Amino acid sequence: MPETDRLLYPRLYAALREPDPAAKCAAVRALRRDWLAGRLERDDTAGAPALSAPGRPARPELVDPRRVPRRGIASREGHGALIHAIAHIEFNAINLALDAAWRFAGLPDDYVGDWLRVADEEARHFGLLADRLAALGYAYGDFTAHNGLWDMADKTRHDVLLRMALVPRILEARGLDVTPGIQKRLAEAGDAETVALLDVIYRDEIGHVEIGNYWFTWLCDARGLEPLATFRALLAEHDVSALSGPFNWPARRAAGFTEFEQKMLEDFAARRRRPGASA
C-alpha cells in the first residue's frame, strides 16, 4: 500500500470529494476494510482542507425543496421518482457519514469506526436502490432532487455536538418515522421487491440513529452537559422543521430515545403545529 494510502484523513477526504457514485461507494468499502484491518494511520494534527460541498455527479439537478415535483406512485414515473428520492437520501447519507468522520478529528477510534460503518452501510443501500431504479428503467440523476441533508451538515460543520444532535437524532430519525408509510404505499402498488429492500435499510438505520444518540450523549458527558436539557435547548435554538410528527416510537426507542424524550418531542411538535407558534 502506498504511503499516502495509509493515512486516514486524506483517504476520507478523497472519498468525500469523489463525484462518481460507483467510485465513491467503492472508496468507502475499501476505507472501512483497511480501517478494520488496522492499515490506516491517524494524523489528527493535519489541517483540514476547505470543503464547500461534497463530490456528487452533475445530475440530479438540485432545486429548492418546494420545486421538487410531487407525483402519485400509481404512475410508472411517480414510482421511479419515489425510489429515486430515497436513493438520493442514501447518497447524501454517505457524504454525511464520511464528513462526520473526516471533519471532527481528535475523537476516539470508536467514533471513526462507527461513522465508517455508517458510510459503508449507506453505500450498500445506495447500490441496492440504484439497482432497483435500473430494473424500473431509470438511473440515479433522472429526477430532480434537493440538498436539504447537506445543508444541515453545512450548518453544523463547526460543532460535532450540534452535528450529532441535529443530523442523526433529527433528520435520520425522521427516516424511521416515514419508512413504514412508504412501504405501505409500495406494497399497495405491488412492489414487494422495494418493500423488502426498505426492510434492510430500516434495520440498518435504527443502528445509525443509535450511533448518533450514543455520541451525542458521550459528547455531552465530555463537556459536562446534561444531555436532555442540551437537546431541548438546541431544538429551541434551531429551526427543526423535520420535527412535525407523527413519530415511530418503537423504532426510536430501539435507537436509544427515552420515554422522556418522547414526551418532549411530541410537545415540541405540537407547539410547532399551533398557528403563529414558534419553536
> What does the pLDDT look like over 104-123, one tens digit per residue?
988 999 999 999 999 999 99
Give the pLDDT score at 65. 78
Poorest-pLDDT segment among 76-90, 152-166, 242-256: 242-256
Position 53 in a domain: no
Is residue 35 assigned to a domain? yes
Q: Is residue 235 domain-resident?
A: yes
Distance separating alpha carbons of residues 16 and 32, to the nearest angstrom: 14
Per-residue model confidence (pLDDT) at position 235 = 84
CATH of the domain at 93: 1.20.1260
What's the whole-number mean pLDDT along residues 196-203? 96
Grid cell, residue 133, equals 431504479
Buried b / exposed e across 136-158, counting CB within 10 Å, b at 16+? Answer: bebbbbebbbbbbbbebbeebee
Structural domains counted in the chain: 1
The model's pTM is 0.93
Q: What is the pLDDT of residues 73-89, one digit of tens each?
A: 888 999 999 999 999 99
Residue 41, helix vs strand vs coil: strand
- pLDDT at position 274 over 60: no
- C-alpha angle 14-15-17 in degrees, rounded to nearest 5: 65
Sign of CA dihedral 125, 85, 212, 202: negative
Work out the percent of the chain whose per-residue pLDDT is above 70: 93
Task: Answer yes or no: is pLDDT of 276 > 70.
Answer: no
The pLDDT value recorded for residue 3 is: 59
Q: Please report the sign of the dihedral spanned by the C-alpha atoms of residue 139, residue 142, residue 147, residue 149.
A: negative
> Average pLDDT over the chain, rounded to whole?
90
31-48 confidence digits (pLDDT tens): 999 999 999 999 876 656
Q: Give which of 99, 98, 100 is closest to 119, Cα–Cα.
A: 98
Indicate whether 60 belongs to any domain. Answer: no
- Given the C-alpha cell 424511521, which residue does it identify? 176
Examine residue 54 and state whether it is found in any structural domain, yes or no. no
> What number is the average pLDDT over the span 128-144?
96
| DSSP of 85-103 | HHHHHHHHHHHHHHHHHHH
Confidence band (pLDDT; 50, 70, 90) for 267? Answer: confident
Quick one: pLDDT at residue 278?
43
Question: Per mean pLDDT, which of 38-47, 90-99, 144-153, 262-271 is the most reliable?
Answer: 90-99
Categorize the per-residue pLDDT at 273 as very low, low, confident or very high, splitting at 50, 70 and 90.
low
Residue 55 lies in a domain: no
**Does residue 246 have a cis bond before it (omega within 30 degrees)?**
yes
Q: Stretch 16-44: mean pLDDT, rounded? A: 95
The range of the structural domain enclosing residue 234 comes to 3-44+67-273
Residue 62 lies in a domain: no
First to last CA, the chain: 52
Domain annotation covers residue 131: yes
